[in-house]
Amino acid sequence: MFSFKSIKDYHTFLATTTHGCVQAVNYYLAAIEKNMHLNAFLEVFTAEALQRAAELDAERKQGTPMGRLHGVVVSLKDVICYKGHTITAASKILDKFESVYSATAVERLLAEGAIIIGRNNCDEFAMGSSSENSAFGTVKNAIDTTKVPGGSSGGSAVAVQAGLAMISLGSDTGGSVRQPADFCGVIGMKPTYGRISRYGLIAYASSFDQIGVFGTNLSDVALAVEVMSGEDNFDSTASSKPVAKYEEHSHKEITGKKLAYFSQVLDHPGIDPEIKLATENYIQSLKNKGFIVEAINFDWLDYIVPTYYILTTAEASSNLSRFDGVRYGYRSTEGIDDLNEMYKQSRNKGFGKEVQRRILLGAFVLSSGYFDAYFTKAQQVRRLLSENTTKVFEQYDAIISPTVPSPAFKLGEKSDDSVAMYLADIYTVYANLVGIPSISIPLFTHSNGMPFGLQLMTNHFQEELMFSLSNSFMIIDNR
């Protein structure tokens, strides 16, 4: 029976069979059908995926060299464009909208032989930390269906967690890849801002958004990031820096590096005692293996979440103004004969409550009389955070922390408490504010049976070091 461990092993399997890609796709289609109750997929591209698999099998039979992602079954978060396919950002406002082009990241996956099997459910417009804000229902955690999978990329995380795809793509604006990876017990990584083109990613907050990757195998995640990275004429923020061989670095074992952790993180009153203890014990394990690990003061922790939500909601209110019910998507017309009223009703009925809340907050902080008090001040804090981050990396190779202050919580537990939901992002939004790469690696299990991980951050465009350290950390954990 077909099973998946890594892309490398999968390619070894394909070399021994003539119909391996079709077999793999059929395996994942059956798994998706069996797990529909998790609500991880909004749409499955059954016929298309099988056709693509058959074409790849035929190419291999003819002696065509395999691409780096030949036959790899991938799912996409419903905010990443795939030409000719529906994309809704899990929102009613984009009901039945079909993408007219593919994201650069998707094009690069396809060019290396990947198979796109479907699109994943998520929080509407990537706004949320639990995947409960979708217009198409809540995503459930495969380990415990009474628990949330995290958000906003919950469907993508569950797709990998439950074995419904080999890897999946999500988007990370403030932890939306790393937090659900933590809750689901898989690897979730977001690269440096600008490392992967944002062309074709529906914008939430443009100076924060980044496409990220979920996987169960570190080398698979590294390979996907390597394939998608690089400059792009369609995205002026995409970096032209050379792309390192991330997959090769994901197999390296290193030690002796100097690591920092913020003392305020482990001393924070909101952290789960078991997560604190596990992290402290792991820090000692790192020291025993030759790493230098030191606590440093970081007095900005309590300013991170407010700064993040001021800036991201401001950008969101601007980005989402384009969804007006006129050119595409949902339009409210019943009993309306006034253009302004049509705009109001279309957006009122098309957007969910959480999206409306963030649009209103963003409009408020950008409004006359409040712009300097909130938005300008938040930008100043962001600049100070960047400056302090530069100083940290002058002395240390990486920063470590828990990914999330608590394990996965119950469905509906925080739905009526927006502040509590926002504070769940306290450890992840920092990397987005300063644009550095970050990864969550699954290392621990809570007494309640839910997984949780460790977050690792390196300096800008130091993904190769991140993957080598992650591999070393996981080896330490497995010994």
* CB-side neighbour CA atoms (13 Å) of 470: 35
CB 39 within 8 A of CB 91: no
Per-residue pLDDT of the chain (479 residues; tens, 9 = 90+): 789 999 999 999 999 999 999 999 999 999 999 999 999 999 999 999 999 999 999 999 999 999 999 999 999 999 999 999 999 999 999 988 999 999 999 999 999 999 999 999 999 999 999 999 999 999 999 999 999 999 999 999 999 999 999 999 999 999 999 999 999 999 999 999 999 999 999 999 999 999 999 999 999 999 999 999 999 999 999 999 999 999 999 999 999 999 999 999 999 888 999 999 999 999 999 999 999 999 999 888 889 999 999 999 999 999 999 998 888 888 988 878 888 888 888 899 999 999 999 999 999 999 988 999 999 999 999 999 999 999 999 999 999 999 999 999 999 998 877 777 877 889 999 999 999 999 999 999 999 999 999 999 999 999 999 999 999 999 985 54
What are the CA-CA distances from residue 227 to residues 105, 148, 169, 238 (Å)?
8, 31, 13, 14
Mapped onto helix, strand or coil, the DSSP state of residue 269 is coil
77 catalytically annotated: yes
What per-residue confidence (pLDDT) applies to 326?
86
176 catalytically annotated: yes
CB 477 within 8 A of CB 443: yes
Rg, C-alpha atoms of the chain: 22
Among 176, 239, 438, 468, which one carries the catalytic annotation? 176
Nearest alpha-carbon partner for 406 in 419, 424, 422? 424
What per-residue confidence (pLDDT) applies to 477?
59
Please report the domains of the chain, with CATH numbers, ordered by start residue. 7-247 (3.90.1300.10)
Q: Is the peptide bond prior to 152 cis by the omega test (within 30 degrees of 0)?
A: yes
Q: How far apart are CA 123 and CA 138, in angstroms?
A: 9
What per-residue confidence (pLDDT) applies to 479?
45
Q: Is the peptide bond prior to 346 cis by the omega test (within 30 degrees of 0)?
A: no
Q: How many residues does the chain have?
A: 479
Among 75, 91, 131, 152, which one carries the catalytic annotation? 152
CB 438 within 8 A of CB 197: no
List, in sequence order, every residue forming a beta bridge with 77; answer none if it has no partner.
120
Report how far Cα 448 is from the mean position of its chain's Cα atoms: 25
Q: How far apart are CA 116 and CA 40, in angstroms?
A: 15
152 catalytically annotated: yes
Q: How far apart are CA 471 and CA 475, in angstroms?
A: 6
List, in sequence order, every residue forming a beta bridge with 80; answer none if it has no partner.
201
Amino acid identity, residue 222?
A
What per-residue confidence (pLDDT) applies to 166?
98
Among 77, 147, 190, 414, which one carries the catalytic annotation? 77
Amino acid identity, residue 175?
G
Global pTM value = 0.96
DSSP secondary structure of 131-192: S---TT-----SS-TTB---SSSHHHHHHHHTTS-SEEEEE-SSSTTHHHHHHHTSEEEE--
Specify the residue for token string 């604006």. Answer: 173
Q: How far apart are CA 438 and CA 208, in angstroms?
A: 13
